[in-house]
Structure 1
Amino acid sequence: MIKNLRATILAGACALMAGAALADTLPAPQGEVILTVSGAISTLNGAEVLALDQRLLDSLPQHSFTTSTIWTEGTATYSGVLLRDLLAASGAKGATVKLTALNDYTITMPAADAREDGPLLAYLADGEPMSRRDKGPVWLIYPFDDVASYRTEQTYARSIWQLNRIEIAN
């Protein structure tokens, strides 16, 4: 009787732990991985990483804004995922965000800078996917025209294009 009770309790505990583990996962990407998030995160879909393809990026809350930049002519409407929303979806627990581009250009910023009126992980410009030639597939871009305080050398330096890796650190 006690043996059966122990087995039942052990089986229940294992089921609860498995359920908790599944709660912090997302489906594996089915297409080409565009962006990975690693480090101090709790949501994974790979070996210690959150790998995102276009389908998974599209499943996150979408935002758009129209702005001009110092690198482009005129204005464009950029669409994608707010950095704030990606950090929340990944269960980010760190204070620092390190962003790296395909060419290994790297910037570091405080996680607290990922605000509602903050940077967007844009992958569409005027409704079209951004190619590598045009700063894609992902460009961390700020609403420069809407928020004057973003028109600084520091923020321009953080506007990393061809972004493919994000690491969260304490």
Structure 2
Amino acid sequence: MRIRHPLLPIAGLLTLAVGLSVLPLAAWALPSPQGEVILTVSGNIAHTNVDDEAHFDAEMLMSLPTRVIETHTPWTDGPNSFEGPLARALLETVGADSETVRVRALNDFAADIPVANFHDYDVILALTRNGEPMPIRDYGPIFVLYPFDDYPELHNETIRFRSVWQVVNIHAD
């Protein structure tokens, strides 16, 4: 006669749960965007939601860790308040494995940005300016924004070149 311990089924479920929790991160998929897709992330990324890319709507982006940056820029008058997700948070979310990303705008302008910039500074993907979504004619829908007023060393041609607006794609090389 076999005697079964009453906790054996629970132990089996616990083992299954622990096993599932250690699945490789590549097995994890992003949720699908519910609104208009405004950003596609491609390249060497682990987490996707459309084939081998990660598509984001504005709500998905704003659900990431965000920052507000109050700063002057070379392109706007006076100080402005910009808000959006931290660029490094986006890269962590998609599981990017890259030292450089190529950021591309609607007009196909592109800039290569070292990922180290995103860790050295609180670079954001600004979605709003002074509390309002940025339309395409005013740098939107996404603007790579450095905290210029916080770091005088950011006032140079290289950083201005990396401050891409009207962003539609980020490619992890």
TM class by shorter chain equals: 0.7 to 0.9
User: 1:138 is matched with which residue: 142, 154, 161?
Assistant: 142
Decide which moves more: 140-149 or 21-30: 21-30
Q: Shift of residue 24 of structure 1? A: 2.1
User: 1:97 is matched with which residue: 97, 101, 105?
Assistant: 101
In structure 1, runs of 5+ residues without a counterpart are 1-11
Computing the radius of gyration over CA atoms, which structure comes out larger, 1 or 2? 2
> Which runs of structure 1 show a deviation greater than 3 angstroms over 4 or more consecutive aligned residues?
19-23
TM-score, reference length from structure 2:
0.84
- Residue 115 of structure 2: aligned partner: 111
1:52-131 equivalence runs, <5 A? 52-115=56-119, 117-131=121-135
Q: What percent of counterpart residues are identical?
A: 41
Residue 112 of structure 1 aligns to which amino acid in structure 2? A
SS at match of 1:107: strand
C-alpha separation between the residues in 2 aligned to 1:33 and 1:116?
A: 28
In structure 2, runs of 5+ residues without a counterpart are 1-15
**Is 2:51 the partner of 1:47?**
yes
C-alpha separation between the residues in 2 aligned to 1:144 and 1:164?
A: 23
Residue 149 of structure 1 aligns to which amino acid in structure 2? E
* Conserved? CA contact 1:27–1:45, under 8 Å: yes
Shift in CA distance, 21/149, structure 1 to aligned 2, threshold 3 Å:
closer
**Is 2:129 the partner of 1:157?**
no
May I ask how many residue pairs the two structures share in their alignment? 155
C-alpha separation between the residues in 2 aligned to 1:161 and 1:141?
A: 8
TM-score, reference length from structure 1:
0.85
User: Cα RMSD between the aligned structures?
Assistant: 1.9
C-alpha separation between the residues in 2 aligned to 1:81 and 1:27?
A: 17
